[in-house]
Amino acid sequence: MAETATKKERVAKEGSHPLVAIDDGYAQTKLYGQGPDGKIVKRVLRSSVRIGSHGLGSFAGDGAIGLWQTEEGNRYTVSDEIEAEDPRFTDFHLSPINRVLVNHALSTAGFGGVQVDIVTGLPVKEFFKDQRKDEERIQRKRENLQRGAFSRSAGVEAPVLADIQVGCQAIAAYVDWALDDELKTRNDTGKTIAIVDIGGRTTDVAVVVGGRSIDHGRSGTADVGVLDVYKGVLDRVKARFELDDDSLPLSLMNEAVRTGSMQLFGRPNDVAEIVSDVVGQVQERALREIQRRLGRAATLQAVVFVGGGSALFKDIASAYPNGVMAEDPEFANARGLYKYFASRRRG
């Protein structure tokens, strides 16, 4: 408690709260921004949560691990070691599950008990409505995060969300492409650029014209992403190893997709062929959706690929002669959200 109090006092003396951007995706929750000590913090957690208390306790016997309770009274367990809820539902970004994941991510990054300003995002199709910002949905996301989420784990505190802003995820990635870490222009913003953000559930396309406007005719969101890979691999692995009644935690699925190996029955099992086949199929689906909006993209300066799916589909950018893989694509949205709102703070 003394450490938490010190953090609170430090923030108060500075006269402003740390600013943290949160890319709260369906598969991963990424944080990028100022830590309580003023240094840049960068963290990624898998969005693995399930309603209820699932009995994960510490060896010390001092209570549950990863247990949260919302203002509505429901309890949720956040852990890679459980079979996660499927987050692919329409109002995920407005849900208690989303709120719990945001609070858990901030808490594990050192913001427990600390006042913090946050900026989160919405996919293109949720951020805009009839070519205008969907102010109602943006406000609903703010209100959802403003409602309480409380840790029920010993020694863990929830953060104090002082200010909540909401941006557009793919456009945030454009800001990351346009500005360097010093918030100075690093790429030509006078051209027309397409940002392709392949996330957990969705693939977002945002065509930015001259750094000032969005071409809604070629922008939008398709329901295909990394979680389709996880689902495909899960189905094939269960069939191969006859695991119909066994649940597989997200950590195990992530291991399989990242390494091509899965620890089952106490030993590693080669599933690289399954993973390669499923990744290829989902990548092809994502590319079809991108091509429906961009065609061959001949008139664009660049097609910039970002998001966890772009990192997984390593050769997808090569489908376009002007395709570019962003540096550290998984963090492009979070970095861009941070850069945009940090630049506004500077005036």
Tell me: do 113 and 241 sit in the same domain: no
DSSP 162-215: EEEEEEEHHHHHHHHHHB-TTS-B-S-TTSEEEEEEE-SS-EEEEEEETTTEE-
Amino acid 254: pLDDT = 86
C-alpha to C-alpha distance for 248 and 237, rounded to whole angstroms: 10
Residue 70 three-state SS: strand
- Mean pLDDT check: name the lowest of 197-206, 246-255, 283-292, 301-310: 246-255
Of 255, 199, 247, 259, nearest in space to 227 by CA? 199
What range defines the domain where residue 254 resides? Answer: 230-277
CB contact at 8 A, 44 and 51: no
Question: How confident is the model at residue 64, as a pLDDT?
Answer: 57
Please tell me whether residues 306 and 320 are part of one structural domain: yes
Q: And the tokens for 179?
A: 């500005």
Is 304's pLDDT higher than 50?
Answer: yes
Q: DSSP code of 108? A: I
How far apart CA 44 and CA 31 sit, in angstroms, is: 6
Kindly provide the b/e burial profile for residues 321-341, where b requires at least 16 CB atoms within 10 angstroms of the residue's own CB. ebbbbbeebbbbbbbbbbbbb
- In this structure, the answer to whether residues 172 and 154 fall within a common structural domain is yes
pLDDT value at residue 320: 97
**Do 25 and 171 share a domain, yes or no?**
yes
Average pLDDT across the chain, whole number = 89
pLDDT of residue 60: 41
| Residues 153-182, mean pLDDT to the nearest whole number | 93
Instruction: Report pLDDT for 314.
Output: 86
Taking 50 as the threshold, does the pLDDT of residue 8 lie above it? Answer: no
Cα(189)–Cα(184) distance, rounded to whole angstroms?
12
**pLDDT in the model for residue 347:** 66
Beta bridge partners of 263: 268
Q: Can you tell me the mean pLDDT for 209-214?
A: 93
Place of tokens 């990548």: 283
Q: Are residues 303 and 253 in the same domain?
A: no
pTM of the complete model:
0.87
pLDDT above 50 for 12: no
Do 143 and 20 share a structural domain? Answer: yes
204 and 290 assigned to the same domain: yes
The C-alpha angle with vertex 165 and arms to 303 and 20, in degrees rounded to 5, equals 80
Query: What does the pLDDT look like over 212-248, one tens digit per residue?
Result: 899 999 999 999 999 999 999 999 999 999 987 666 8
What domain count does the chain have?
A: 3
The answer to whether residues 319 and 176 belong to one domain is no
Are 323 and 335 part of one and the same domain? Answer: no
8 A C-beta contact, residue 316 and residue 326 = no
- Can you tell me the distance from the alpha carbon of 309 to that of 313, in angstroms, rounded to the nearest whole number? 6
pLDDT for 54? 55
Q: Which residue has the higher pLDDT, 51 or 102?
A: 102
The predicted model gives 249-273 an average pLDDT of 91
Angle 11-107-119 (CA atoms, 0-180°, nearest 5)?
A: 70
Percent of the chain clearing pLDDT 90 (strictly above): 73
Q: Are residues 168 and 258 in the same domain?
A: no
Q: Mark whether 115 and 45 lie in a shared domain.
A: yes
CATH number at 218 reads 3.30.420.40
Whether residues 132 and 90 fall in one domain: yes
At residue 84, the pLDDT reads 75
